[in-house]
Structure 1
C-alpha cells in the first residue's frame, strides 16, 4: 500500500505553555540536583508541541514517532515559571517531518532551541513490529 503524502508543509506550527512544577525539575527527573526545569522535561514539551502541530493533519490510522532531537537548554526556569514552546515545520518530505523548536519564558527570554524530527507511521504496522516484553 503506497504511503499517503503528509498533509503539512513548512510553516505549519503549534505552541504550548507550561507552568513548571516540582515534578518538572532536574532534581525530580534525575537529570541533576537543582530545583529548576529539567532538560528531559523541556525535551518532552518540545516533542509535545511537534505532536500538537501534526494533530488533525493525520488520519486515525497514522501517527508520528520521534526519531532525532537536537536541543540546547540555555536558561534555567524556576518552579512556578512558565515556558512557551513553539514548534514549526521547516521541512516535510515523504514520511519525514522536521521541526524547529523554540522555548521562551514569560519575559520572552530564550530558554531553549533546537530541532525535532518525526516520521509518520501507520499505527498498526508500527505496533506489529514492536517486540514483546518477554523477547
Structure 2
C-alpha cells in the first residue's frame, strides 16, 4: 500500500492509489448491501484529493456516503482518515450492473 511499492512515489508512505482503492471499496460495500442478487456496482469516475500523508504501518480507513442516485448511476462522497486526521476526500461515481450481462459484454472483446 506504499507509494514506493506502486511506483507512484519513492517514499514509504501510504500511496494515493491505495487510498483511492480503499475509498472505492467503501462505496462498493455501501451500495452492495442494498442490491438484488445478480447485481453489483462498477466504478466509473473518481475525483479525489490526497490532502495529508500517512506513515508506513498506520491504520487508514475510508467512509462513503451516497449523495445522489440517477437511474443506475450512484454518486458517493468519500473520505479517508488515519489515526490523526482526514487524509483524503472527493467524489466517486459507480454504476449498477447486472453481473452476468456485464461480464458477457466485457468478454466479447476477447473474441
Task: Tell me which residue corresponds to 1:14.
Answer: none
Structure 1 unaligned segments of length 5 or more: list them.
1-23
1:43 to partner: Cα distance = 0.4
1:132 to partner: Cα distance = 5.3
Q: Does the 8 Å contact 2:32/2:41 carry over to 1?
A: no
Indicate whether 1:31 and 2:8 are aligned.
yes
1:133 to partner: Cα distance = 7.1
Number of positions where the alignment pairs a residue of Structure 1 with one of Structure 2: 111
Cα distance in 2 between the residues matched to 1:35 and 1:133:
38
Higher helix share: 2
Task: Tell me which residue corresponds to 1:80.
Answer: 57
State the Cα RMSD in Å.
Answer: 1.3
- Show the 5 A alignment for 1:2-81: 24-81=1-58
1:120 to partner: Cα distance = 0.1
Indicate whether 1:125 and 2:101 are aligned.
yes
Greater than 3 Å deviation, 4+ residue runs: 131-135
SS at match of 1:72: strand
User: What is the TM-score normalised by the length of structure 1?
Assistant: 0.77
* Structure 1 residues 14-72: Cα deviation after superposition (integer angstroms, max 9, x where no partner): xxxxxxxxxx1000012111100010000000000001101221112111000110000
Structure 2 unaligned segments of length 5 or more: list them.
none
1:83 to partner: Cα distance = 1.4
User: What is the TM-score normalised by the length of structure 2?
Assistant: 0.93
